[in-house]
Structure 1
Amino acid sequence: MGLLSQGSPLSWEETRRYAEHVRRHGILQFLHIYRALRDRHKDVLKWGDEVEYMLVKFDHENKKVRLLLCGEEVLQTLQDKGEKVNPNHPTLWRPEYGSYMIEGTPGRPYGGTMSDFNTVQDNMRKRRQEAASVLKENEAVCTVTSFPRLGCPGFTLPDYKPTPVEGGASKSLFFPDEAINKHPRFSTLTRNIRHRRGEKVVINVPIFKDKNTPSPFIETFPNDDGEAAKAAKPDYIYMDAMGFGMGNCCLQVTFQACSISEARYLYDQLATICPIVPLKNNHYRISKSRYDSIDSYLSECGEKYNDIDLTIDKDIYEQLIKEGIDHLLAQHIAHLFIRDPLTLFEEKIHLDDANESDHFENIQSTNWQTMRFKPPPPNSDIGWRVEFRPMEVQLTDFENSAYVVFVVLLTRVILSYKLDFLIPLSKVDENMKEAQKRDAVRQGMFYFRKDICKGGNAVVDGCGSAQNGTGTNTEEYTLMSIDTIINGKEGVFPGLIPILNSYLENMEVDVDTRCTILNYLKLIKKRASGELMTVARWMREFIAQHPDYKQDSVITDEINYSLMWKCNQIAQGQAECPELLGVGFNKKQSGNKTDSL
């Protein structure tokens, strides 16, 4: 969601005049936080998830489904009924980029006990039910990464036409400004990014080539002023607005570490995991833009693997070094601050740097990388945190809980066993490119470290066999399938799931919680092996088998309606989907701890 300041937004020309002011004071704000809290230790483990939802309306008579542009009203109602009347309400609601989107989180962070894992799905279920309870007939809240007809004519309700003329926020040929959240941050961000670029956003995604897809596939743009024709490519789908990225939904997890050093260690280790749980075929990145994988490791053990060119603001770097910031953290901040601020509010120009952090967050929150290192807010009891950001949202609360618990458990194991997943960052970048290919889970090969117990305790079979070294070499990592990384392969890699199982065997866990966790891990295991489909693969096969599909790469209104209705039924536990979730999933939804995955 990012920084949501209130006030009068400045134009890009006005914002640009204050860019150096924001950067200068953003660094001062970071330094105040760092000096005050660098020695803060012994914070307890706290963590929480963020789920983004789309609001849709089904027209059963005409077999259409459209995105419902009432997110602001729904959000206001949810907040009025929840946190504004009860500070201990179990859910919190926040705005998101699309006016058809809302974001839900637990009311309070989860703690360090294993039993907390047993409450995640119940809290997610409460969120879904809460949001659904304020909707009208035939309206629904859906957790899908990307609405299949996003940008097609008539995809919103009310139906607004795009405004590809100067004066609009996006000037998009496809995405109306009314589909952008009304909070001034979002439209200002959209407009200022376009003004800063001097042109509209350019997104070209390869079209799915089917039997009857035109070859070459070439789009025409009736209302184009020439910009689209110049930017579009043959055999690609052209999109021209931030809404095609920020208007999609994802699943994120934030962890509070016990200290800054632990946060930096987790940041590095989890960065290598990002490509194996990525955004696939739905969110789109321009290589090494603000949306991308990380650009440098932060911990000392990661320094030797920083093998990609890093552009930094040298003056900021020198300033941080003089103030006692170490090289790795200084270059991380100096790299973030090569970016311009994208939004600025008139009332937020002159701030108290010792007690506010809006200028720092202005830059920090508009770098949307796979991991985010998050200093504590000033004058709060919040510690040093890291945010894990690459996951697609799943259809059901069970799946979303499974992915969240998998990542949180992995952080526990990383810290407990001192695991080391680090490989050269150039290989992480290659993995991200591989992850975005179609059916990468079954077909892709990813660079991964062979001996992850190096330097730690050999607590898992297959770990701890290599000798410590001082330099990176190609024998430290090799290409592996997702199945091998997750489930293991004898003589190659022990597998993350077996390591997590080993950890659980050594922990005091009540029977109910253990059963819940094991069901989550079974889903991850079977998705990785290909025994169960990913949501992306299931959607492709659903469309391919639809009686109205003409094998021409076109998702009609009726196909879209059928797909989204099926997604809604699965999410509500009203339809079986064994190829996606395993047999007997509905029993799990109703609270029966079935072991049928």
Structure 2
Amino acid sequence: MGLLSQGSPLNWTETKKYADHVRKHGILQFLNIYNKVKDRQKDVLKWGDEVEYMLVELDKKDEKARLVLNGNKVLDTLQEKGEKVNPNHPTLWRPEYGSYMIEGTPGQPYGGNMSEFSTVEDNMGKRRREASSMLKKDETLCTITSFPRLGCPSFTQPECRPTPVEKGVSKSLFFPDEAINRHPRFSNLTRNIRHRRGEKVVINVPIFKDQKTPSPFAETFPEDDGEAASAALPDHIYMDAMGFGMGNCCLQVTFQACSISEARYLYDQLATFCPIVMALSAASPFYRGYVSDIDCRWGVISASVDDRTREERGLEPLKNNKFRIHKSRYDSIDSYLSFCGEKYNDIDLTKDDEIYNQLLDAGIDKLLAQHIAHLFIRDPLSLFEEKINLDDENESDHFENLQSTNWQTMRFKPPPPNSDIGWRVEFRPMEVQLTDFENAAYVVFIVLLTRVILSYKLDFLIPLSKVDDNMKVAQKRNAVQEGMFYFRKDIFKGCNPLFDTAATAAQNGVKTNDDHEEYTLMSIDTIINGKEGVFQGLVPILNYYLENMEVDVDTRCAILNYLKLIKKRASGELMTMAKWMREFVSKHPQYKNDSVITDKINYDLLCKCDRIAKGEEQCPELIGEPVKRRN
């Protein structure tokens, strides 16, 4: 989770004093990096995935599932037995926000060889087995996006009590500070977001109205000092802490491009896929023990780290703050980076004009300059006393301080100072899936998509305002089946002659007319699988690419199995994780059609998830028929 500095954390009052210092030196650090590597070419295409896990206790005696606050100990042991002994260990482990969470990545990045696609699932299996071996008998490792009873009484092991009125970092009514990772960065971020905002964060998720759900649905909070009563909306599930967002799990992929221009091109193209893939991977329908009316965590996590003041949110006139800021620092991107994307930058971009002009004067082009100047409208949220004065030529902590706390759907990542790492982009909207097979499928799908985009110079760009519209649709319940998404009709125009537009259009019955809109509303089924007369479909394009590549039989079979899962999720033949979880709860004998997830329902759900993830139980409605794969 971004930069993990060691040292003495400063509170918000102290951090604020150094905000301009961090911005000033962060820009100098960026310019130093840029000038050293701007002309760097021919970096090898590399990529890697990040999977976040939850540690869960399945208590058979009490029939309760609880989150185990033991992540630091498990992480230390994994690192001691892994990378600290062998730098080439096949897995790497890193901390995450929750003290019940860990993050696993492959030990070395994957390369451009197609055969590496068939090793992704095996590596994920190694990670799961490695971490699971550190757990107690009644504990397990789960890849679920959102723990259904996060924030409910007794949801942790050991049991910890929230401290809303006592000294603490979150002052949450529901989420105890002990559930936050003990590294000072995480508690410091939590406290400083609250202090900068001037109040606790406010998260309101619409509740799913079942037959016996109270209408209006409203809660009372015994320890509330009035803040929750005024912030909670009727017919919504109210949450009040960073942990409700950052305490969820996700699946991310980072790509190293051959050059800065290729990285910018990939950044833009993949940005249009963020809402599509988020809806396709939807896996988080439950919050604080209730069934919600959304399927994805994005809006929850966005609200959970929203440090904007009332002035910045437009609720009061600007007086003490410099900018009106339209989004949380965890949200969709606000501008395309490539020059072909410039004409589609149609949303209001708030930027620091002084920094923007400084970057222009230093030779940075306007698109990259406005991107950085937009990131730098934010304040640093976490600063360590020992990291105030740095060597701007050889360090990048101040740049990364702001870069790593702008959590957008895509992240454009300059190389670290004096490293052999190239320009990278990070794809961030996916929800983590239940099994290694599913997670590998989504990762391979996205990586293969980047290969096709680069090979055929495809163009998926649409106005950025339409991508934002798609983000809103993607989070809705059953968006993968019911949502309609803006998508570009002709992705081949001016591209590889193999895909001449007229020929492709004739083949698919698409009428071509230069005067018509470049994009239209499509279902995810149409986008992924194609529809005659509308769009060719991504899976058919990927299959065409595979047919023209030299790929060994095992790799080809693995890729086709992954694409089959994606294809069937898009068509509705297979459920998303979110829909599957909803159906499990609705059919549970203890469910009273009142939108409440009891301890027993939660326990049975997590037990079933655990059996499926371990391969002890089949789940054809979620994953399809079992696929035979070589070990």
**In the alignment, is residue 509 of structure 1 matched against residue 528 of structure 2?**
no
Structure 2 matches for 1:524-543, cutoff 5 A? 524-543=566-585
Structure 1: state its 5+ residue gaps.
Answer: 467-471, 593-597
Does structure 1 residue 345 correspond to structure 2 residue 420? no
Amino acid at match of 1:577: C
Give the total of aligned pairs.
Answer: 584
Q: Higher mean Cα deviation, 334-343 or 166-175?
A: 166-175
The 8 Å contact of residues 492 and 500 in structure 2, kept in 1 or not, is answered as: no
Q: Cα offset for 1:491?
A: 1.1
1:583, distance to aligned residue in structure 2 (A)? 1.6
The secondary structure found in structure 2 opposite 1:524 is helix
1:567 equivalenced with 2:582 (yes/no): no
CA distance in 1, matches of 2:366, 2:625: 52
CA RMSD of aligned residues (A): 1.3
- Does 2:518 correspond to 1:480? no
**CA separation in 2, counterparts of 1:157 and 1:459?**
58
2:236 is the counterpart of 1:236: yes
- C-alpha distance 521-91 of structure 1, shift in aligned 2 (>3 A): same
301 and 147 in structure 1: CA distance in 2 versus 1, 3 angstrom threshold:
same
Instruction: Work out whether residues 51 and 103 of structure 1, in 8 Å CA contact, stay in contact via their aligned partners in 2.
Output: yes
Equivalences for 1:313-328 in 2 at 5 Å?
Answer: 313-328=352-367
**Quick one: which amino acid aligns to residue 218 of structure 1?**
A
Instruction: For 2:387 and 2:68, locate their aligned partners in 1 and report how far apart those are by CA, in whole Å.
Output: 32
Deviation at 1:464, TM superposition (A): 7.0
Alpha-carbon contact 1:453-1:464 (below 8 Å) kept: no
Spell out, residue by residue over 1:344-385, the C-alpha distance to the aligned partner (whole angstroms, 9 max, x if none): 000000000000000000000000100000000001100000
Percent identity (aligned) = 79
Determine the structure 2 residue equivalent to 1:208: 208
Contact 2:296 2:431 in 1 (8 A): no
Question: Quick one: distance in 2 between partners of 1:243 and 1:463?
Answer: 51
Matching residue of 1:88: 88
Offset of 1:463 from its aligned partner?
7.0
Structure 1 stretches of at least 4 aligned residues deviating more than 6 Å after TM superposition? 461-466
Tell me, yes or no, if the aligned pair for 1:578 and 1:584 is still in contact at 8 Å.
yes
Instruction: Call closer, same or farther: CA 1:54–1:446 in 2, change over 3 Å.
Output: same
Residues 33-44 of structure 1: pairs in structure 2 closer than 5 A: 33-44=33-44
Q: For 1:289-328, list aligned pairs within 5 A.
A: 289-328=328-367
**What is the Cα deviation at residue 455 of structure 1?**
1.5
Local SS of the residue matching 2:102: strand
Alignment partner of 2:424 out of 375, 385, 406? 385
Contact 2:584 2:605 (C-alpha < 8 Å) held by counterparts: yes
Q: Which residue of 1 aligns with 2:51?
A: 51
Separation in structure 2 between the aligned mates of residue 234 and residue 117 of structure 1, nearest angstrom: 47
Deviations 1:27-67 (A, max 9, x none): 00000000000000000000000000000011112110100
Cα offset, 1:461, TM superposition:
8.2
The offset of 1:458, in angstroms, is: 4.4
One-letter amino acid of the counterpart of residue 217, structure 2: F
The Cα of 1:474 is off from its aligned counterpart by 6.3
Whole-angstrom distance in 2 between the partners of 1:462 and 1:546:
51
> What corresponds to 1:595 in structure 2?
none
Q: Would the aligned equivalents of 1:110 and 1:116 in 2 still touch at CA under 8 Å?
A: yes
Amino acid at match of 1:232: A
2: distance between equivalents of 1:182 and 1:366? 19
The letter for the 2-side match of 1:486 is I
Q: What pairs up with 1:416-495 in 2 under 5 angstroms?
A: 416-460=455-499, 475-495=517-537
Q: CA deviation at 1:459?
A: 3.2
Task: List per-residue Cα deviations over 1:206-246 (Å, max 9, x = no partner).
Answer: 00110000000001000001000000010000000010100
- Give the counterpart letter for 1:81 in structure 2: K
Gaps of 5+ in 2: 283-294, 304-325, 506-513
**1:463–1:494 Cα contact (<8 Å) kept:** no
Deviation at 1:277, TM superposition (A): 1.1
Residue 5 of structure 1 and its aligned partner are, at CA, apart by 0.3
| Gap change, CA 1:464 and 1:370, over 3 Å in 2 | farther
The whole-number CA distance in structure 2 between the counterparts of 1:552 and 1:491 is: 44
Matched, 1:115 2:154: no
**1-structure distance, mates of 2:471, 2:422:** 29
Q: Matched residue of 1:400: which SS?
A: helix
C-alpha distance in 2 between matches for 1:144 and 1:315 = 43
Q: 1:190: which partner in 2?
A: 190
Q: TM-score, normalised by structure 1?
A: 0.96
Give me the whole-angstrom Cα distance separating, in 1, the residues matched to 2:53 and 2:463: 35
Report the counterpart of residue 296 of structure 2 in structure 1: 281
Aligned to 1:131: 131
Instruction: Give 3-state SS (helix, strand or coil) of 1:390's partner.
Output: coil
Q: Is the 8 A contact 1:456 1:464 kept in 2?
A: no
Say whether 1:548 aligns with 2:548.
no
On the 8 A contact 1:55/1:100 being kept in 2, the answer is yes
Residues 455 and 464 in structure 1, CA contact (< 8 A), matched pair in contact too? no
**TM-score, with structure 2 as normaliser:** 0.91
Give, in angstroms, the shift of residue 473 of structure 1.
7.7
